[in-house]
Structure 1
Amino acid sequence: MNFVSTRNNAPAVSLSQAIAAGLAPDGGLYVPEALPAPRTLAPADSLARTATTLLTPFFAGDALEPELAAICEQAFDFPAPLQPLATPGDHVLELFHGPTAAFKDFGARFLAGSLARLPRADARPLTIVVATSGDTGAAVAAAFHRQPGLRVLVLYPDGRVSPRQAHQLGCLGDNIRALRVAGAFDDCQAMAKQALGDVELQAHVPLSSANSISLGRLLPQMSYYAHAAIGHHARTGRKLNFVIPTGNLGNAMAAILARGLSVPLGRIVLATNANRVLPDYFGGDEYRPQPTVATLANAMDVGAPSNFERLRWLYRGDDAALRAAFTSQGVDDGEIRDTIRERYQRHGEVFCPHTATAVRVLERLRASGQAASGEDWAVAATAHPAKFESVVEPLIGRELEVPPALAALLRRPAHAEPCQPSFAELRDRLVNWA
């Protein structure tokens, strides 16, 4: 299978080439020339086997095809359980049982496994430039830590991630560097994209991406949605609908692609925080990137979601069809706090701020009848609440138990370098990385 740019001004490439490059040379995002033909997927006993089956058509004929099963076994070696919530028919898909307690562990580990297996003629290390609004950078850093021939430069908005997220970003060292940027996530993302698109810079420092613009992260994220939906359908005969908290649209795009492969997923509703680019667009406004608003759900603080370009590609630029296919709702900080507090008081359920945005949207859907009785719904739980103890613990009135893997990272010393939101400064860091 070949992959092309969303902007249609770059040569078609193999999947390995797309994964290695990250961003297409015309600045677009890589997408398959066409989605594979729908297939009937049977329930599998492991998430890794579901991933292998689902991803096989994308890897057909590629240099990584013989390695796919091994990559999946390596990346998907922790569970993503679908758990019932207190409301009948409601569930939570727990995606936070990996090394850094966030859903991004799945895609980051898959990407690291893929890049580590790709032959490279260049003896220089490949530098992964990753902009993060909180969880991506930690997952990528952990996945690539001490990988030979690979190094990672993480850019994150200083003061706009949780203390534990910031600690994770700077605690590994070795081949990992963290820059705390005096700006917003969109500044970090713009700097990373400019670096990846700079041909002269790439001649001096080979670069790739690990944001959700990378197919090596996006494609494997389809797997946990498929595994949950296929298993649920086998047990109940019903499709599983999803509310997905989203910022850069990568996680939601993975679910949308999975549904396009005939996985028994029903409706997909996009939950955002106070950054309302998507709710405004799906409500009928023109798509307009906006300055980022800082919120409690900081990993979703995105004013220019990169993967919107892929979503438009999937619907051939037909805004009317796209708006007819999805809805999006925003949740402000007051509602996030109320949801965390009330769900704990009523049901003993504990959510991170990002998951709480999706829970609040699902509550609205149930109350309005848009999620009918008899329909089954799931919320994607994107991070463990212990990563956001400064928000969650005061609302529930108790300390949260820290998962062992996260606790181990928090025991390490951490350091991040200050950086201005300047491409010139980023370029200098990359060129002069000793």
Structure 2
Amino acid sequence: MSDVEPLRYHSTRGAGPAVPISQAIAAGLAPDGGLYVPEALPSIDPGAFDPQGALADTAATLLAPFFAGDPLASELPGICAEAFTFAAPLRALPAHPDTVMLELFHGPTSAFKDFGARFLAACLRRLPRADARPLTILVATSGDTGAAVAAAFHRQPNVRVAILYPDGRVSPRQARQLGCFGDNVMALRVAGRFDDCQRMVKAALNDTALQAQLPLASANSISLGRLLPQMSYYAHAALGWWREHGTPLNFIVPTGNLGNAVAGLWVHEIGLPIGTVRLACNANPTLPDYFAGAAYAPREAIATLANAMDVGAPSNFERLRWTFPDEAALRVQLQAHSVDDATIQQAIARHAREYDEVFCPHTATAIHSLDRLRSEGNNAPWAVVATAHPAKFESVVEPLIGHPLAVPASLAAMLARPAASEPLAPTDDALCDWLLAHG
């Protein structure tokens, strides 16, 4: 154990003791139902990073203060090397000058969730457990999280994964990915919305009687073990741009549950060269309405083409409010733009026709937001965050571009497997009963 004073973590809701990061990662959710946040965000000098370092090196330097004094601190370089085995490249976009795309879909399941899921799995493998019973990882997914977590934990000893997804509200290829693993991974198709899945997972994690019978943990972005590693690709991209151009890089982030966006904002807050962060949302109005000045009002999610962002009650809003406790300052810091399905389709079709660029529906919300900024005369350097490979959404994308999409090899291998899932009612009791029956 290091003699460095450890950074401790407390709940966004203020109840309960502060805990070390190992405990926060193992628990997933704080006992009072809040999300774990550090007592204070550290400050990091951009000069502390190796200019020649790979993404894993950037991650190890970036996250070291968050793990200081914890038993996992000495393991951090190995965790990062194990998790970040694929790139997150910045690629120039021909549509606009000073515009790049941060491609986050080169992992095993072709979505940005691979980074956080693999990091969390690497952490949990290194944490000692007094309980010899299998640990059940609960995951609510609106499309991509579940497959990433399944791939990260597949066949890991003494761990099982239960994935809850809204039946009929993910793409056919996403659904097949979720059900193709088998072994220690179980896919549950919930007769409801993503918000139902998310509520059910939170209720199970907060059920002390259930936890006494069945050890549970979370792998959603409510988990620090998922959110913290997502900071790494923002830091790596921003530092690379800053070294080459001498200016901060601005980001447009497609978002629904706010985890990916909060990761980018935390990189800005710790002192690295990120400029403005803008949120691109689908037709779900919770965040755009709030940033336009309305009171925060969670509501039922609307089904859209950008289904992984179909969230009406974003969990990480609690972390956002903790980061910017002054509501007026938060609304100055962030803007959120809503993009409906027709506009998503137009953006995909136009960029394919004019620039031979193909985007998934989620990335298309950010592309439209960029087009709007440029049309308004904004010439700042922007990075569009590409969250998933378009081949995961062939039923949406291929009719718009007029030709089949090449499928990444790792995705093709998953789609070739048989897939299975079980139906589940959208109630807390239904999940509790299922967990106990399969415990």
Give your verdict on TM over 0.5: yes
Cα distance in structure 1, aligned partners of 2:424 and 2:437: 15
Question: Secondary structure of 2:82's partner?
Answer: helix
CA apart distance, 1:90: 1.0
Give yes or no for the alignment of 1:18 onto 2:27: no
Aligned to 2:432: 427
Cα distance in structure 2, aligned partners of 1:389 and 1:44: 37
Give yes or no for the alignment of 1:302 onto 2:311: yes
What is the correspondence of 1:263-302 to structure 2 with a 5 Å cutoff? Answer: 263-302=272-311
Q: Figure out how many residues of one structure are paired with residues of the other and give that number.
A: 430
8 Å contact 1:99–1:142 — kept in the other structure?
yes
Give yes or no for the alignment of 1:198 onto 2:203: no
The unaligned stretches of length 5 or more in structure 1 are none
Aligned to 1:416: 421
Aligned to 1:140: 149
CA apart distance, 1:149: 1.5
Question: Secondary structure of 1:227's partner?
Answer: helix
Match of 2:381 among 368, 376, 384: 376
Question: Secondary structure of 1:354's partner?
Answer: helix
What is the correspondence of 1:4-153 to structure 2 with a 5 Å cutoff? Answer: 4-40=10-46, 41-42=48-49, 43-86=51-94, 87-153=96-162
Aligned to 2:237: 228
Question: Secondary structure of 1:10's partner?
Answer: coil
CA apart distance, 1:432: 1.5
Offset from partner CA, 1:273-316 (integer Å, 9 cap, x none)? 00011110000000000110000000000000000000001112
Instruction: Give 1:184's aligned amino acid.
Output: R
8 Å contact 1:44–1:227 — kept in the other structure?
no
CA apart distance, 1:45: 2.5
8 Å contact 2:339–2:365 — kept in the other structure?
yes
Cα distance in structure 1, aligned partners of 2:239 and 2:154: 33
8 Å contact 1:103–1:383 — kept in the other structure?
yes
Cα distance in structure 2, aligned partners of 1:357 and 1:164: 20
Identity rate of aligned residues, in percent? 65
CA apart distance, 1:39: 1.9
Cα distance in structure 1, aligned partners of 2:167 and 2:197: 10
Cα distance in structure 1, aligned partners of 2:224 and 2:52: 24
CA apart distance, 1:402: 0.3
Instruction: Give 1:389's aligned amino acid.
Output: E
CA apart distance, 1:423: 1.1
Q: Normalising by structure 2, what TM-score? A: 0.97
Offset from partner CA, 1:250-269 (integer Å, 9 cap, x none)? 00000000111111001000
Cα distance in structure 2, aligned partners of 1:291 and 1:90: 35
Aligned to 1:400: 405
Q: Normalising by structure 1, what TM-score? A: 0.98
Cα distance in structure 2, aligned partners of 1:5 and 1:264: 28
8 Å contact 1:274–1:333 — kept in the other structure?
yes
Question: Secondary structure of 2:160's partner?
Answer: strand
CA apart distance, 1:161: 0.1
CA apart distance, 1:38: 3.2
Cα distance in structure 1, aligned partners of 2:285 and 2:77: 39
CA apart distance, 1:387: 0.2
